[in-house]
Amino acid sequence: LSPLLFIMTEILLRKIRQNREIKGLRIKKEEYKAQAFADDLVFFIEEPIISGPKLIKEIERYGEVAGLTINKDKTKMIVKNLTEKQKKKLEEVITNTSLQIVKKIK
Protein backbone atom coordinates (compact mmCIF):
# COMPACT_ATOMS: atom_id res chain seq x y z
CA LEU A 1 0.00 0.00 0.00
CA SER A 2 1.03 3.53 -0.61
CA PRO A 3 2.86 5.33 2.22
CA LEU A 4 0.54 8.26 1.49
CA LEU A 5 -2.44 6.13 2.58
CA PHE A 6 -0.76 5.44 5.92
CA ILE A 7 -0.04 9.14 6.42
CA MET A 8 -3.64 10.05 5.61
CA THR A 9 -4.90 7.37 8.00
CA GLU A 10 -2.66 8.64 10.79
CA ILE A 11 -4.01 12.17 10.36
CA LEU A 12 -7.59 10.87 10.64
CA LEU A 13 -6.76 8.77 13.71
CA ARG A 14 -5.14 11.75 15.40
CA LYS A 15 -8.25 13.89 14.79
CA ILE A 16 -10.49 11.18 16.26
CA ARG A 17 -8.26 10.63 19.29
CA GLN A 18 -8.22 14.38 19.99
CA ASN A 19 -12.00 14.78 19.65
CA ARG A 20 -13.28 14.90 23.24
CA GLU A 21 -16.87 14.36 22.11
CA ILE A 22 -15.99 10.82 20.99
CA LYS A 23 -15.75 8.65 24.10
CA GLY A 24 -13.26 5.81 23.79
CA LEU A 25 -12.94 2.60 25.75
CA ARG A 26 -11.38 3.29 29.16
CA ILE A 27 -9.02 0.76 30.70
CA LYS A 28 -7.50 1.99 33.95
CA LYS A 29 -6.31 5.53 33.17
CA GLU A 30 -5.93 5.03 29.40
CA GLU A 31 -8.54 5.75 26.75
CA TYR A 32 -8.52 3.71 23.56
CA LYS A 33 -10.45 4.96 20.54
CA ALA A 34 -8.81 3.46 17.48
CA GLN A 35 -6.47 0.84 16.11
CA ALA A 36 -5.11 0.60 12.57
CA PHE A 37 -4.12 -2.57 10.74
CA ALA A 38 -2.70 -1.75 7.30
CA ASP A 39 -5.69 -0.19 5.53
CA ASP A 40 -8.28 -1.38 8.07
CA LEU A 41 -9.42 0.72 11.00
CA VAL A 42 -11.10 -0.44 14.20
CA PHE A 43 -12.76 2.01 16.58
CA PHE A 44 -13.63 1.39 20.23
CA ILE A 45 -16.26 3.72 21.60
CA GLU A 46 -18.38 3.98 24.68
CA GLU A 47 -21.79 5.63 24.64
CA PRO A 48 -22.35 4.58 21.00
CA ILE A 49 -25.65 6.46 20.74
CA ILE A 50 -23.75 9.71 21.36
CA SER A 51 -20.22 8.90 20.16
CA GLY A 52 -21.20 6.80 17.10
CA PRO A 53 -22.69 9.61 15.02
CA LYS A 54 -19.85 11.95 16.05
CA LEU A 55 -17.26 9.37 14.97
CA ILE A 56 -18.98 8.84 11.63
CA LYS A 57 -19.24 12.60 11.09
CA GLU A 58 -15.52 13.03 11.83
CA ILE A 59 -14.64 10.28 9.34
CA GLU A 60 -16.93 11.72 6.66
CA ARG A 61 -15.64 15.27 7.22
CA TYR A 62 -12.06 14.07 6.81
CA GLY A 63 -13.06 12.00 3.79
CA GLU A 64 -14.47 15.06 2.04
CA VAL A 65 -11.12 16.84 2.37
CA ALA A 66 -8.98 13.78 1.56
CA GLY A 67 -11.20 12.43 -1.22
CA LEU A 68 -11.95 9.19 0.63
CA THR A 69 -15.25 7.50 1.46
CA ILE A 70 -16.40 4.81 3.87
CA ASN A 71 -16.94 1.49 2.11
CA LYS A 72 -20.39 0.87 3.56
CA ASP A 73 -20.52 -2.69 2.21
CA LYS A 74 -17.49 -3.61 4.34
CA THR A 75 -18.14 -1.38 7.34
CA LYS A 76 -19.96 -2.80 10.33
CA MET A 77 -20.73 -1.55 13.81
CA ILE A 78 -20.38 -4.28 16.41
CA VAL A 79 -22.25 -3.58 19.63
CA LYS A 80 -21.88 -5.19 23.02
CA ASN A 81 -23.99 -4.86 26.15
CA LEU A 82 -26.81 -2.86 24.57
CA THR A 83 -30.44 -3.54 25.30
CA GLU A 84 -32.82 -3.92 22.35
CA LYS A 85 -34.17 -0.44 23.15
CA GLN A 86 -30.64 1.04 23.04
CA LYS A 87 -29.87 -0.82 19.80
CA LYS A 88 -33.05 0.59 18.19
CA LYS A 89 -32.09 4.10 19.34
CA LEU A 90 -28.61 3.64 17.85
CA GLU A 91 -30.17 2.51 14.56
CA GLU A 92 -32.28 5.69 14.58
CA VAL A 93 -29.33 8.03 15.14
CA ILE A 94 -27.19 6.44 12.41
CA THR A 95 -30.08 5.87 10.00
CA ASN A 96 -28.64 8.06 7.23
CA THR A 97 -25.31 6.19 7.18
CA SER A 98 -26.60 2.78 6.01
CA LEU A 99 -24.09 1.04 8.30
CA GLN A 100 -25.01 -2.39 9.57
CA ILE A 101 -25.21 -2.99 13.31
CA VAL A 102 -24.16 -6.55 14.18
CA LYS A 103 -23.33 -8.57 17.30
CA LYS A 104 -20.41 -10.41 15.65
CA ILE A 105 -18.56 -10.62 12.35
CA LYS A 106 -18.99 -13.79 10.34
pLDDT for residue 26? 92
97 or 65: which leads in pLDDT: 65
Give the per-residue pLDDT at 98: 67
Encode pLDDT of 81-102 as tens digits.
888 898 888 888 887 776 778 7
For residue range 11-60, list pLDDT tens digits in order.
999 999 999 999 999 999 999 999 988 778 889 999 888 998 899 899 98
pTM of the model: 0.81
Mean per-residue pLDDT, 54-71: 88
Say what the pLDDT of residue 34 is. Answer: 92
Please, which contacts does 5-14 make with residues 24 or more away whose CB atoms are closer than 8 Å?
5/39, 8/66, 8/68, 9/36, 9/39, 9/41, 10/36, 11/62, 11/66, 12/41, 12/58, 12/59, 12/62, 12/66, 13/41
